Amino acid sequence: MFYWLGYEHLFHLFTPFRIFQYATFRTAMASLTAVLIFVLFGPWFIARLRKFQIGQHIREDGPQSHHKKAGTPTMGGLLICAAIVISTLLWANLRVPAVWVAMAGLVTFGAIGFWDDYAKVKRKRNLGLTARQKFALETLAAIVVGVLLLGMNAKGLYTTELNVPFFKDFKPDLLIHPLLNNPWTYPLAFSFFFAFVALVLVGASNAVNLTDGLDGLAIGLMLIAAGAMTVLAYLEGNADFARYLELSRPRDAAELAIFSAAMTGASLGFLWYNAHPAEVFMGDVGSLALGGGLGTVAVLLKQELLLPFIAGVYVLECLSVILQVGSFKLRGKRIFKMAPLHHHFEQLGWAESKVIIRFWIAGLLLALFALTTLKLR
C-alpha cells in the first residue's frame, strides 16, 4: 500500500517519497512493522486468549516436566499471521503475483492449523485433526499453491526449472514437456511438479510443527531461517549481487524479501512472549503457517533444494520422528529415548533452555552454510 501510495502517487508532489521505491527500505520497514504489531497488541492478545480460556493441552505421552505448561495460552500464531500479512500489505508492491502466492501459502496452511487447534480447544484434549485429515488438507493446500505457480508460469513470471546447489548449469525441469502435446496426458505431465511442490510445502509445515515442543525453539529457528531467506531473496533481487554470485533472478524476488522480512519480524516479536518460560504458544495455526510460508518462498525463489540447509534443524527433527516410528514398526525398537529429537536430549538430562540455545546455534550454523553455498558452484 505504501509503495502504491508513496511512490506511484505522492512522489510527484513530494520527492522524498521516492524512498518507497527502494526494496531495501521497504524490507527493513516490513520487519519493523511486524515487530511493532507485537509490541502494541501482544499483551492485549494474550489477555484475550486467557479470557476465553484458549489454553494448551499437553500430550499425555510427552515429558513429565511439560505437564506444568498445561493451560498456557495457545493459538498465538493468529497474531503471527496477522503481523506478516499486514506488514506485507503495507510495504510490498501488491501488483506482484508472487507476493499473493506467498501469502496464500501462509494463510492456507495457517487455516488448517487453526482448524486443528480449534478442535483441540473444543475437545479439551491434545487431539485435533487426525494425521490423515491433516495430510489430506495440507496436500490440497500445496496443490492450490502449485496451480497458482503454474498460472504465473503461463505468464512468464515463474519457471519450473529447478536450481541444484553446487551446479549452476544443471537445471532439470519439473514439467514433463513431451506429455504436453496430448491433452490426455496433461495430468501426468504436471504430476511430478505438483508432487514436488507438495513435498516441499507439506514437509516444511510439518517439520516446523514437530519442532514446536519447547519454549521458543521453533520460533527462534524460524527467525534464523526467515532471516536467511530474506538475505537470499534480496541477493536474487539485486542485479549486481545476482550477477556476482551467478544466481538466477526470479522476477520480483525483491518483493519476496519484503514478505520474508515480515516473517522475520513477526518471529522476533513472538519470541519476546514465547521465550522460556513461555507466556503464549503459537499452536498449529502458527507452526503450519510459518512452515507453509517458508516453503512457498523457497519454491518461488527456486531454492527448494537449499531449504533443507536453511531450515536444517527442522529437517533433523522431522527425520528423527520418521526414523523412530519406522524403527519401532519394523524392529520393535526405538532409536531415540523420545522423538522429536529435542525430547531425546531432554531425556538425556539436558535442561530445556540448554536444548533450545544449542539447537538455535545449530540452526544458525546450517543457515550460514546454506548462504555460503551460493558461491560454491
Report the domain count for the chain.
1
User: Would residue 273 count as lying in a domain?
Assistant: yes
Range with the poorest average pLDDT among 148-152, 312-316, 373-377: 373-377
Q: Is the pLDDT of residue 69 over 80?
A: no
Q: Taking residues 83-107, report their average pLDDT.
A: 96
Q: Is the pLDDT of residue 45 over 70?
A: yes
Q: Taking residues 144-164, report their average pLDDT.
A: 92
User: Would residue 21 count as lying in a domain?
Assistant: no
Q: Is the pLDDT of residue 15 over 70?
A: no
Range with the poorest average pLDDT among 61-70, 96-105, 191-200, 270-279: 61-70
Containing domain of residue 290, as a range?
26-372
pLDDT of residue 258: 96
**Percent of the chain residues topping a pLDDT of 70:** 90
Q: Is the pLDDT of residue 13 over 80?
A: no
Distance CA 82, CA 237 (A): 25
Are 160 and 175 a contacting pair, CB within 8 Å? yes
* Nearest of 106, 85, 82 to residue 293 by alpha carbon: 106
pLDDT of residue 325: 93
User: Which residue did the predictor score with more confidence, 219 or 161?
Assistant: 219
Distance CA 207, CA 23 (A): 30
Residue with cell string 543457515: 367
Q: Which three cell numbers stand for residue 152?
A: 504465473
pLDDT of residue 59: 59
pLDDT of residue 239: 81
Q: Which three cell numbers stand for residue 123?
A: 475437545
User: Would residue 262 count as lying in a domain?
Assistant: yes
Are 282 and 291 a contacting pair, CB within 8 Å? no
Handedness of CA 236, 241, 243, 245 (dihedral sign): negative
Length of the chain: 377
What confidence category does residue 84 fall into, taking pLDDT thresholds of 50, 70 and 90? very high
User: Would residue 253 count as lying in a domain?
Assistant: yes
Q: Is the pLDDT of residue 207 over 80?
A: yes
User: Would residue 59 count as lying in a domain?
Assistant: yes
Q: Which three cell numbers stand for residue 59?
A: 500430550
User: Would residue 235 count as lying in a domain?
Assistant: yes
Torsion, CA 143, CA 149, CA 151, CA 152, rounded to 10: 170
Range with the poorest average pLDDT among 112-121, 245-254, 260-269, 328-337: 245-254
Distance CA 57, CA 365 (A): 33
Residue 263 half-sphere exposure toward CB, CA atoms < 13 A: 37
pTM for the whole structure? 0.93
* Nearest of 201, 200, 210, 203 to residue 324 by alpha carbon: 210
The string of pLDDT tens digits covering residues 107-129 is: 999 999 999 999 888 877 667 78
Most confident of 68-82, 233-247, 289-303: 289-303
* Nearest of 363, 201, 202 to residue 295 by alpha carbon: 201
Distance CA 308, CA 312 (A): 5
pLDDT of residue 357: 97
- How many angstroms separate the Cα of 348 from the Cα of each of 65, 118, 343, 363? 13, 34, 9, 21
Handedness of CA 134, 136, 137, 138 (dihedral sign): positive
User: Would residue 377 count as lying in a domain?
Assistant: no
Q: Which three cell numbers stand for residue 26?
A: 521497504
Distance CA 290, CA 77 (A): 9
3-class secondary structure for the chain? CHHHHHHHHHCCCCHHHHHHHCHHHHHHHHHHHHHHHHHHHHHHHHHHHHHCCCECCCCCCCCHHHHHHCCCECCCHHHHHHHHHHHHHHHCCCCCHHHHHHHHHHHHHHHHHHHHHHHHHHHCCCCCCCHHHHHHHHHHHHHHHHHHHHHHHHCCCCCCECCECCECCCCCECCCHHHHHCHHHHHHHHHHHHHHHHHHHHHHHHHHHHHCCCCCHHHHHHHHHHHHHHHHHHHHHCHHHHHHHCCCCCCCHHHHHHHHHHHHHHHHHHHHHHCCCCCCCCHHHHHHHHHHHHHHHHHHCCCCCCHHHHCHHHHHHHHHHHHHHHHHHHHCCCCCCCCCHHHHHHHCCCCHHHHHHHHHHHHHHHHHHHHHCCCCC
Distance CA 51, CA 55 (A): 10
Average pLDDT along the chain: 89
**Percent of the chain residues topping a pLDDT of 90:** 66
What confidence category does residue 66 fall into, taking pLDDT thresholds of 50, 70 and 90? low
Q: Is the pLDDT of residue 14 over 70?
A: no
Classify the phi-psi angles of 294: left when phi > 0, otherwise alpha if psi is within -120 to 50, otherwise beta: alpha
Distance CA 261, CA 269 (A): 12
User: Would residue 9 count as lying in a domain?
Assistant: no
